[in-house]
Amino acid sequence: MHRLANTLLVIVLVTLLSAPLATAQQTTTPWPTRGWATSSPEDQGMSSERLGRLVEFGAANDMDSVLVVRHGRIVLEATYAPFREGLKHHLFSSTKAVTSTLIGMALGDRLLDSADKRVVDFFADRTIANLDDAKKAITVQHLLDMTSGLAWQEGVNGGDASAIAMARTSDWRQFVLDQPMATAPGTSFYYNSGNSHLLSAILSKVVGRSASDYARDRLFGPLGIGDVLWQADPQGISIGGWGLYLQPRDMAKIGYLWLRGGQWESRQILPAAWIESVRAADVDMHESWSSDLRYGRQFWVMPQRDTFMSVGLHRQLIVVIPRLDMVAVVTGSQRFVSPSGSLVSTPRYGFGTLVDHLAAAVTSDTAIAANPAATAALAERVKAAATEQPVSSAANGLPATAKTVSGKTWRFATGAPFGLKSYSLKLDDPQPSYAFEFDGASPGSLLGRFGGPIGFDGRFAVGGRMPSGPSAARGAWSADGTSLMIELQTLGNDDAARVTHLFGDKTIELGIEWARGRKVKLQGRAED
């Protein structure tokens, strides 16, 4: 009897001692360095049915992808055809928040003394135009908060005249530094990608290498992010305001770092105070369409919702909601509404609407009862989003013109737009395709051969090679079979365009129209 009592005592003690261990294991913060854990929404206190509504919202609002992380686990991941999993996406101005993060790391590494240092002191070796007391007073913090006061034509609501002008120069830093002052620094908010590029240039000075190289060691490497493209200016300075390409899952890792206050596994790789300052941002953006928006350190902040985010053109978003222990990533792009019409659809939904969808899907801080029917319905919605539906105008058969022009190569004169050197079509192959080559001669032009397959069944054919990712293209012939229209894009680059081909005896005219509005015509001549 005594032995039985001892045995029961041991069992009870083991049970009591193991209970805290099990609880600790369940509450241990998961770190996705080697890959994300996934979970059903219900296991993380979320509704599959309501997340299904978010997937439908994305389909109606030009999303390329949507991903939701709760309690450190992916509960929703959807991509919208022709975009697909495993591809990088251009973050556009969400790059700014990554640049800011690296500035915060440089401060933490004591490579940068203070955010209150004067900007001109980093460029003492340069002659700066329009240099007055106001410009001398601009600090790194003013650049971070978009309150530098530099004259610029951009703003939150569009307009990129100054950014385009900067990109056409051989020295982007000098272009920004030379701008006159519009207001005294620190007195008013004005969105200016030049500020962000100066931040990258300053970062390069203090760390002794590009932002991209610094990020590889201090940010991307520790987080397990390897598939990265970050464009640079003519001097090799990583573009501070755009130009970073990441996969959505890797965007979510950066958001998760922010959610965890700069901690990753056992290391504090970004000062916690940096994120706390972002959450407390108080620079009024004066946006009538969202009066609760604030700005700070290159982040957009909604203090009343305890939400902060990085924001890029056409809704490239990393959204962090600490009160819900949630990170959401959204990518998007402009689209032609129809193959032949001129209407373009653009992501324009409100940030509050997105946050409402995310918050509405949360029903508990802990697991809720499984809902197999809702889980299955969500899976079907995700599957449907990834399945492209053919356009109704898909053509059948090849016109005689296709056989005449297939295999031809057209050459373009030196100085053609974009440095285009040659263009060719193969239309009578089992897999039709297009190809083009740049000469690399003009400043900023590319060098190399690009192209990919063309779908003639009303769907995009994906593959090949473009400067920033894989090509997606679909083609349609005119009713009389004499002209060809190819709608193409680089997946993840938000560069949808339509190319109209007019064929002469030995000539070709390419009329290119981008969804963003630019148009250009090029004329080439067939090789003899």
CA-to-CA distance for 117 and 137, rounded, in angstroms? 9
Q: Is the pLDDT of residue 22 over 50?
A: no
Q: Tell me the per-residue pLDDT of 49-61, one tens digit each, with 9 for 90 and over.
A: 999 999 999 999 9
Q: Tell me the per-residue pLDDT of 453-501, one tens digit each, with 9 for 90 and over.
A: 999 999 999 999 998 999 999 999 999 999 999 999 999 999 999 999 9
Residue closest to 420 by CA, chosen among 488, 521, 496, 514: 521
Note the pLDDT of residue 11.
33
Note the pLDDT of residue 215.
98
The answer to which of 134-138, 313-317, 448-452 has the lowest mean pLDDT is 448-452
Residue closest to 354 by CA, chosen among 396, 381, 326, 387: 326
Angle of helix 48-60 versus helix 372-385 axis, rounded to 10: 20
**DSSP string for residues in 418-459:** GGEEEEEEE-SSSS-EEEEEEE--STT--EEEEEEE-B-SSS
Tokens of 498: 């339509």
Percent over 90 (pLDDT), the chain: 84
Grade residue 528 by pLDDT with cuts at 50, 70 and 90: confident
CA-to-CA distance for 434 and 427, rounded, in angstroms? 8
Which positions ≥6 away from 216 have C-beta within 8 Å?
228
Which CA distances in Å does 527 have to 423, 428, 521? 11, 19, 20
Percent over 70 (pLDDT), the chain: 92
CA-to-CA distance for 62 and 409, rounded, in angstroms? 35
Grade residue 307 by pLDDT with cuts at 50, 70 and 90: very high
On average, the pLDDT of the chain sits at: 92
Grade residue 336 by pLDDT with cuts at 50, 70 and 90: very high
Q: Tell me the per-residue pLDDT of 196-236, one tens digit each, with 9 for 90 and over.
A: 999 999 999 999 999 999 999 999 999 999 999 999 999 99
Mean per-residue pLDDT for 147-163?
91
Mean per-residue pLDDT for 424-441?
92
Which positions ≥6 away from 135 have C-beta within 8 Å?
120, 128, 150, 181
Note the pLDDT of residue 156.
87
pTM of the model: 0.92
Which CA distances in Å does 143 have to 148, 175, 190? 5, 15, 10
Tokens of 41: 């929404």
Note the pLDDT of residue 26.
43
Residue 15 burial class via C-beta count within 10 angstroms: exposed 0-12, middle 13-18, buried 19 and up: exposed
Q: Is the pLDDT of residue 291 over 90?
A: no
Q: Is the pLDDT of residue 19 over 50?
A: no
Tokens of 93: 């101005």
Note the pLDDT of residue 92.
98
Note the pLDDT of residue 511.
95
Domains along the sequence of the chain with CATH: 37-385 (3.40.710.10), 400-526 (2.40.128.20)
